[in-house]
Chains A and B, each alone.
Chain A
Amino acid sequence: MLQLFKVEWLKIRTYKTFWVLFGTFCIMFPLAFYFSAREFMKSGAGFDEKAIKAFLGSPFIFPKVWQASSWFGGLFFVMMGMLFILLITNEVQYRTHRQNIIDGWSRMDFLKAKFSLLLFLVLVATVLVFLCGLTVGMIFSKNIDDIFNGVHYIGYFALMAIVYLMVAFLISILIKRTGLSIIIYFAFVCIVDNVLWLILTLYNNQFGYFLPLESADSLVVNPFKPALLEKRTVPDNALISAVLFYIILFGFIIIRYFKRTDLKT
């Protein structure tokens, strides 16, 4: 696996577009998170705002900061899906997916190499989300006795990140064209999944929480959403199982399709 990742690394090492998109995530997310926290903590002189804060519980101090950092990270991580699509569809466009096989990779090697890249992106993002949560929590919390309470949200973030990239992986392997894949990905992430969720959660129905992306999204609840408004009754463990199921399902479809298909452009 490490050998396969080494090849992927050679592919992206000097690829400008990769560094621009990757860099944007690594810079924009921490900045947005920090400044949101600062603004939020600064405001609140008036009675109304104090009441709201008391009602919500501050999202930027321990222990809730882990949830906030994971949720903010998730907002920005959608972009990484686009980057991942680009890195896969580039191969089709340049026909290098054929060349990699011709040069001696098996088709599984090609998929494993891309999966190693997926893990790399998830790992970097997860470490960043952890560091941002820790830093912002340290800056704004008065009480830092029990800082790792709620740190499991970082794990939820990692799961969410994996499932988003698996969706991107599946779309780009099936669609092959860069532009179309990105459009479908965003349509799915921003519209289809949410519309289905609305339909499937009507009248307090819980089916909507088991949608591919929603199951992961629901693990990391919007930290600004009051607990009273939360209609979800399915436990976290059920959602984790759903997320793992989707990761395996998408992986299975990708492998089955890619092993049998003709590699063309």
Chain B
Amino acid sequence: MHVLNVENLSKNYGQIKALKNIDFDVPSGTVFGILGPNGSGKTTLLGIVMDVLRPTSGSYLWNGKPGSDSQRKKIGTLLETPNFYHYLSGEDNLKIAAEIKGHGKEDIPQVLHAVNLFERRKSKFNTYSLGMKQRLAIASTLLGNPDILVFDEPTNGLDPAGIAEIRELIQQLNNDGKTIIMASHILDEVEKVCTHVAIIQKGVLKTVGSVIDVLSTSAANKIIVEVAAEDLELLKTVLSEMNGIGDIKILDNELHITCEENISAININQYCFSKGIVLSRLNVKRKSLETRFLEITGNQSDR
């Protein structure tokens, strides 16, 4: 069962193609990360499925049905920035959101507690710090205990403790069986909380799947090993003759070598020792989403 099906979605702003034929499904019960550099089209995509932007072509389904206002009432969404009435208190702002949703009014104290804003509930929104505004927006998404949550850059403006709290909250929500769709340009964030990921660049969907699958596609079947010895030049010469070793880079006081997956730390250590080199450092780096992401997107911002 899919919570969201995005079918061939395109969006043009005049000459600019913000989204090009985006196609993917969000399985129920996942934490689905939409990852991309700034300006890649993440917010445009979420704006379309929340009906604040009109697609140029394509369509989307929520729970198998075309998007509608009654469905949006059952989805908690934070899109781009916290949008509230500046002159109203945090609590009054939540009352408006609950009134529009038609449910969740009784949840207001509880959701304010969940994001640590209960004490400041009577303060006007424009007196809030950036982090508090963000937390109020997250509180608002929790009204009515929705089964689907959409977060666009949820940790924006939060301090490290706040970021950790929100991550914990997201994982908790997912453990409770909720599906979470989350756009982010922070790889670390996606890697830590997401089960699935879609990578978008310049409006094009580069890859989509479970985080494990995305990390282990063929191009990623190489590992990076950091090694160091007293004589780096000699080490480089020796290692370049070893089977299964690809690219070697000298970085600071160590070498970063890209090798085939079947090469282990033991192989490298034994080989070097047999050539009379004693390694002062040997560290096999796990292939991270970051390296994978940079491989896919070419390490460029889309601005």
**A residues in contact (CB < 8 Å) with B:** 3, 6-7, 10-11, 13-17, 90, 94-96, 98-107, 109, 260-264
Interface pair A104/B81, CB less than 8 Å apart: no
Chain B positions within 8 Å of A105 at CB level: 69, 100
* Closest CB in chain A relative to B146 CB, distance in Å: 10
B168 at the binding interface (Cβ < 8 Å): no
Interface pair B83/A16, CB less than 8 Å apart: no
In angstroms, Cα B87 to Cα A13, docked, is 11
| Chain A interface, >50% SS class | helix
* Closest CB in chain B relative to A96 CB, distance in Å: 5
Chain A positions within 8 Å of B230 at CB level: none
In angstroms, Cα B84 to Cα A262, docked, is 19
Report if A103-B87 is in contact (Cβ < 8 Å); known contacts: A6-B99, A262-B53, A263-B53: no
* Closest CB in chain B relative to A56 CB, distance in Å: 46
Chain B positions within 8 Å of A7 at CB level: 96, 99-100
Chain A positions within 8 Å of B99 at CB level: 3, 6-7, 10
Q: Which residue of B lies closest to A17 (CB)?
A: B87
* Closest CB in chain B relative to A248 CB, distance in Å: 25
Give chain B's interface residue range (CB within 8 Å of chain A). 20 to 34
Q: Which residue of B lies closest to A259 (CB)?
A: B54
| Chain B interface, >50% SS class | loop
Q: Which residue of B lies closest to A107 (CB)?
A: B51
Report if A103-B85 is in contact (Cβ < 8 Å); known contacts: A262-B52, A263-B53: no
Q: Which residue of A lies closest to B87 (CB)?
A: A15
Chain B positions within 8 Å of A99 at CB level: 79, 83-84, 97
Chain B residues 74-92 with CB under 8 Å of chain A are 74, 77, 79-81, 83-88, 92
In angstroms, Cα B73 to Cα A171, docked, is 30
* Closest CB in chain B relative to A15 CB, distance in Å: 5
Chain B positions within 8 Å of A100 at CB level: 100
Interface pair A260/B84, CB less than 8 Å apart: no
